[in-house]
Amino acid sequence: MQNNTDILARLDEIFEDTFIDGDYEFSVELSSDDVEEWDSLAQIRLLTAIEKEFGIKFDIAQIEDLKSVRALSEAIAQKQ
Amino acid sequence: MQDLDWLPLPPDNFKELCKDLESNQETAPIVKRLADSRLSQNQCNRLYRSIVKLSDDKLQQLQQGFDKVKLGIVSNGTTDLMVPGLFISALRRGIWIEPVIADFDQALQESQLPDSTINAARPDLVLLMLDYRAFSFASQTVAGCAEGFNAEDAIQYIDQIRQGFARHGQVNCIVPTLAVPPVNLLGSLDRRLTGSLKKQIHDFNHAITPLIAQSDDYLLDVETIAAELGTHNWFDERQWLSSRLALSDQAELFYFERLAALLAGIRGKSKKCLVLDLDNTLWGGVIGDDGMEGIILGQGHPQGEAHAQLQRYAKELKACGIILAVCSKNDEINALQPFKDHLDMVLREEDIAVFVANWNDKVSNLQHIARTLNIGIDSLVFVDDNPAEREIVRMNLPQVAVPELPSDPALYVRTLMAANYFETVNFTEEDKLRAEQYRQNSQRQKLMESATDLDSYLESLEMVAVMGSFDEMSYKRVTQLINKTNQFNLTTQRYTEAQVLEFERSSQYFCLQARLMDKFGDNGIVSVVICKKTPGQWEIDTWLMSCRVIKRRLEDLMCDEIVRQALADNATKLTGQYIPSAKNALVADLYPSLGFAQQDSGSWELDLTRYNFKSPPISIE
């Protein structure tokens, strides 16, 4: 995945806009357990922002699984 | 129009400005500027959080500039994420929302219990944020449905909710029409297929519209709003199935925009005047350079038709009572020529209430227009193709609405329509005449400038007043005045139609409205007084007057009439209060100027036995 760095950089931006309280360190290891604001509704907002940014659509079955930066970046790379 | 295109983009340092809101010396103008820009959900969220985190002092100061609305919300969808978007959209329209949100899917229960979350909070309005999935017909099938009118249950359900809130919360509702989701069974037949979701929703929308029109509640036409955006964009199945979020991200922002406009309409904060630039706005080209033959306008040229379309839209708005003005950098003689002689001009000189063509800056010209019309600068919409002019006006007069215009004139009208500046909750016969009345007013202004003194000017107007109590013909207009008059308004009490009728019926109250005519035309009903009668003493509860007749001494005539009636009722004292608001400094000295004396309590009192009748030069019919 040659554009992984690019994906991560764009994800970092989206995280910064979605989780405004910012009590976390962005990395590929980050998951919903590490971010207090990252609940099931924030998940929807996060996915919507990602879809807009990357011009993709996630499937309904993926929503529950995409709860870490790693899972997100992999799913984005796959969809692109 | 899907991304609120008429709003300018936020500044590049948006995040920093949000972060430094507390330390910024200019919190209020910065908030206004940021809220007025095209923000995403996440950006709304960021700005909202910066605002609620402000220190108490700063927050209070900021709130001063807005009209507060406590809004109860019941919904059959998840509402947890919507507050920031709603709040920021309302700021854009001059409204500070305090939301009171009921638990998920509790509309009926909330309405029926006097101590429910909504009813106990005593909101100013309740928003029924219900879509088709709130109603039993969403789960009905073609197989299980009887012939005939399909939406009866749904209408009854809505009625029960409305009546519940009216009875237990004394509050009016904002009731939606329903968006039609992109459903399909048998194609076009669905429209008349008994039991099909499409037919049921259509039936509901058809039935609810006249029902709400006859009530004190307000209609939010969600069906049309969703259609504008496209229902595939409006409904997001995945969000609904996973989280019961009823609207897509994009739809939510659009919905809040329109809701906020309706709230502004209810509070009398909609725009009143469309100010148009000329060159490359009303026509293509530059009249001073290209001349009458050279400008692009009308039939035979696609761009010319686009400009003519804008003119037709303006003319239609004028017929709805919106005032038109021109603000152009031109020599007046050149600028006026097309209005007089160009065959393809839709707008004519007499359509324009104030025509300003000179080489002064547009900021002072806009101020001049507002002054001449005697309306607030915040009532103006300024349409100009030139981005530099737009930016200068935005920076210097942030209260003026300045839409971003696309570079293609073919899209001008669509952009202005999408921006929805003129949301109106009630349209009376008076409104149709309004634009004409403002034009007459600017003629009066000219006469005044030529008169030697105020009294001789007033004499020359040949004014006639018709006074009476509220009746079938007048109570709608009276209610409208009560809810939107800000400047000449001593107490700024707002009342619903039902309350207005109640005053009229009650023997405890004296109600007076006045219509003013003069040689230039009829101003319509322009002043309202409500007094509470107690033995020996009348108390002024409401006294207001439309700005269009200020400085005509109508207030003297009204005072004479109140005193006459009070004396006939054997009262000896007339009392009143001046309740200061952000906008009514105009009448701060009204009571002393009429001979009222201030009491220790701060209220004003007039000894009726010693009143000097003012007898202004207005005859009574």
- Do B392 and B478 share a domain, yes or no? no
Final residue of a structural domain among B225, B241, B266: B266
- Do B52 and B72 share a domain, yes or no? no
Residue B567 has pLDDT above 50, yes or no: yes
Please write the tens of the pLDDT for every residue from B132-142: 999 988 877 78
Residue A1 has pLDDT above 50, yes or no: no
The shortest C-alpha distance from A41 to chain B (Å) reads 7
- Do B34 and B119 share a domain, yes or no? no
Cα dist. B276→B5, B314, B333, B382, B496 in Å? 19, 9, 17, 6, 35
Check which CATH number belongs to the domain holding B522 and give it: 3.40.630.30
Q: What is the DSSP letter of B525?
A: E
- Among the partner-chain residues B81, B237, B241, the one whose CB lies closest to the CB of A45 is B81
- Do B13 and B74 share a domain, yes or no? no
Report the distance separating Cα B426 and Cα B431, nearest Å.
9
Confidence band for A2, pLDDT divided at 50, 70 and 90: very low
Instruction: State the average pLDDT for chain B.
Output: 92
- Do B476 and B366 share a domain, yes or no? no
Please write the tens of the pLDDT for every residue from B247-267: 998 899 999 999 999 999 999
- Among the partner-chain residues B42, B237, B243, the one whose CB lies closest to the CB of A40 is B243
- Do B199 and B258 share a domain, yes or no? yes
Please write the tens of the pLDDT for every residue from B364-414: 999 999 999 989 999 999 999 999 999 999 999 999 999 999 999 999 999
Alpha-helical segments (H) within B301-411: 302-319, 332-341, 362-373, 387-396
- Do B560 and B576 share a domain, yes or no? yes
Q: Decide if B42 and A60 are in contact by the 8 Å CB cutoff.
A: no
Report the distance separating Cα B533 and Cα B535, nearest Å.
7
The shortest C-alpha distance from B244 to chain A (Å) reads 10
With respect to residue B289, please indicate whether it lies within any of the assigned structural domains. yes
Q: Give B-chain residues touching A60 at CB under 8 angstroms.
A: 237-238, 241-242
Please write the tens of the pLDDT for every residue from B105-125: 999 999 999 999 999 999 999
- Among the partner-chain residues A40, A44, A49, the one whose CB lies closest to the CB of B42 is A49
Residue B603 has pLDDT above 90, yes or no: yes
- Do B277 and B163 share a domain, yes or no? no
Segment B532-553 mean pLDDT = 92
**What tokens appear for B156 in the block?**
């009854």
Check which CATH number belongs to the domain holding B91 and give it: 3.40.50.1110
User: The domain containing residue B142 runs over which residues?
Assistant: 67-266
In this prediction, residue A55 carries a pLDDT of 86
- Do B132 and B50 share a domain, yes or no? no
What's the number of CA atoms in the CB half-sphere (13 Å) around residue B184?
Answer: 6
**Cβ–Cβ < 8 Å for B449, B511:** no
Question: Virtual CA dihedral for B414, B416, B419, B425, nearest 10 degrees?
Answer: -100
With respect to residue B247, please indicate whether it lies within any of the assigned structural domains. yes
ipTM: 0.81
- Do B540 and B595 share a domain, yes or no? yes
Q: Give B-chain residues touching A58 at CB under 8 angstroms.
A: 238
Check which CATH number belongs to the domain holding B281 and give it: 3.40.50.1000
Final residue of a structural domain among B221, B239, B266: B266
Nearest CA in chain B to A60: B238
Q: What is the domain count for chain B? A: 4
- Do B588 and B512 share a domain, yes or no? yes
Nearest CA in chain B to A48: B249
Confidence band for B149, pLDDT divided at 50, 70 and 90: low
Report the distance separating Cα B354 and Cα B323, nearest Å.
9
Q: Which of B237, B238, B247, B250 to mutate to test the interface with A (most CBs of A within 10 A)?
A: B238
Q: What is the DSSP letter of B283?
A: B
Final residue of a structural domain among B65, B81, B98: B65
Report the distance separating Cα B169 and Cα B113, nearest Å.
9
Specify the CATH class of A4-79 in words. mainly alpha
- Do B54 and B75 share a domain, yes or no? no
Alpha-helical segments (H) within B20-66: 27-35, 41-52, 56-63
With respect to residue B434, please indicate whether it lies within any of the assigned structural domains. no
